[in-house]
Structure 1
Amino acid sequence: MKSRASSLRNMILAALFVALVAVGGQISIPLTPAPITLQTLFLMLAGSILGARWGAASLLVFVALAAAGAPVLSGGKGGLAVLLGPTGGYVFSWPVAAFLIGWMVEKWGKGGQIKAWQLTVAHIVGGIILVHAIGFPWLLAATHMPLHEAFMGAFLIFLPGDLAKAFVATAVVKALYKAMPTLQMQK
């Protein structure tokens, strides 16, 4: 029965994170070529809280909803045209990023509390480095922007906000783990 209850709990939390990532896209600061949103904050939280499998699953559902035309992307956008556009690589990276974050948290968190620096590293590696490693080349290929222009306008400008989101995600996860210790052990 515990396994069934745990699966139900994970499904509910995964659905919650699909909704949070969607809402995070509606809170945006429009920049070119991509807006600043809270979506990457919620993907970091999904990986940390749900773990590798369920975190990735929640973001796969999100990408499927976006592909189907649901208005879940920044500014209420959705559909294949948006996903296959210049910023699509970033969105396609999100399930992989959530998986990597969850995997790192699961490995480092075995047998006890995960340290804040470990969470922060997981958020930076999965939620920033991996997302940009997949999204940035896609953006370059789609826009044919000069490399230095794309680097400044599609990476460097986002770095301070991305780092802030990584630290916020760490603080939120540590607070949740403290308030609900079983949350860390049930992945």
Structure 2
Amino acid sequence: MNQLKTSTLKSVFTAVFAALICAGSIMAVPIGPVPIVLQNAFAVLAGLLLGPVQGAGAVGLFLIAGMIGLPVFSGGKSGFAVIAGPTGGYLAGYFIAALIGGYAVQRASKDNPKQALPIIISASIAAFACIYIPGVLVLKRSLSLSLADAIAKGFIPFLIGDAVKIVAIVPITLKLRPIVARYLSQDD
């Protein structure tokens, strides 16, 4: 595949995943200071399927869209105030999750391609952890909560739902990653 076509495909896949992450805000269920959303699943999936550079790029496009005023954050919110607010750590975590999850799958797949299932499961769990660590810490600081309260409000209520998301993400990644990788010839 020639360089221009590969570059164009990478841009298209990145934009499509940015749009999916944006669309994930439509399904927001408010349960306290942090809503249940599909955005985190799409951010993780972007990294797992596209790799660290394009996956993080997709999340970056989503974050830029929200910061410039497009209503792409949960509940149709936008603006820098959302990034600086109680859920800002989770949004930053999406970027880290795509980067780390994508890197883990990419690196492990090259080293041991026959171990795809445990690699993808581990990378998915690690990616979700990359969302919750900054998310809970910023929630704690923003709302002046104790660490225990921040964990109780910003982590515990989401464990079951995120486990279900991981169960969905793993077979999608197993099926689509080889196809996407073939088109993108990921060397980044």
Task: With the length of structure 2 as denominator, give the TM-score of the two structures.
Answer: 0.91
Contact 1:53/1:99 (CA < 8 Å) preserved in 2? yes
SS of alignment partner, residue 51 of structure 2: helix
Mark the CA change 1:133 to 1:181 in structure 2 (over 3 Å): closer, same or farther.
closer
Q: For 1:103 and 1:153, locate their aligned partners in 2 and report how far apart those are by CA, in whole Å.
A: 29
**How far off is 1:131 after superposition?**
0.8
Name the counterpart of 1:186: 185
Name the counterpart of 1:121: 122
Matched, 1:136 2:104: no
Name the counterpart of 2:84: 84
Moved more, 143-152 or 27-36: 143-152
Q: For 2:185 and 2:115, locate their aligned partners in 1 and report how far apart those are by CA, in whole Å.
A: 14
Q: For 1:138 and 1:177, locate their aligned partners in 2 and report how far apart those are by CA, in whole Å.
A: 32
Paired residue type of 1:82: V
Mark the CA change 1:169 to 1:142 in structure 2 (over 3 Å): closer, same or farther.
same
Instruction: Structure 2: state its 5+ residue gaps.
Output: none
Moved more, 104-113 or 19-28: 104-113
Q: For 1:124 and 1:130, locate their aligned partners in 2 and report how far apart those are by CA, in whole Å.
A: 9
**RMSD (Å) for aligned C-alpha atoms:** 1.8
**How far off is 1:164 after superposition?**
1.5
**How far off is 1:182 after superposition?**
4.8
For residues 92-146 of structure 1, the C-alpha deviation after alignment (integer angstroms, 9 at most, x for no partner) is 12112101111011111116455111101101101x1111111111110000123
Q: For 2:22 and 2:140, locate their aligned partners in 1 and report how far apart those are by CA, in whole Å.
A: 25
Mark the CA change 1:4 to 1:83 in structure 2 (over 3 Å): closer, same or farther.
same
- After superposition, residues 11-90 of structure 1 pair within 5 angstroms as 11-90=11-90
Paired residue type of 2:156: L
Q: For 1:186 and 1:83, locate their aligned partners in 2 and report how far apart those are by CA, in whole Å.
A: 33
Task: With the length of structure 1 as denominator, give the TM-score of the two structures.
Answer: 0.92
Aligned length: 185
SS of alignment partner, residue 155 of structure 2: helix
SS of alignment partner, residue 24 of structure 2: helix
Shift >4 Å, 4+ stretches: none
Name the counterpart of 1:152: 152
Mark the CA change 1:181 to 1:92 in structure 2 (over 3 Å): closer, same or farther.
closer
Contact 2:135/2:154 (CA < 8 Å) preserved in 1? no
Contact 1:105/1:114 (CA < 8 Å) preserved in 2? no
Contact 1:87/1:135 (CA < 8 Å) preserved in 2? yes
Contact 2:50/2:180 (CA < 8 Å) preserved in 1? no
The percent of aligned pairs where both chains have the same amino acid is 30
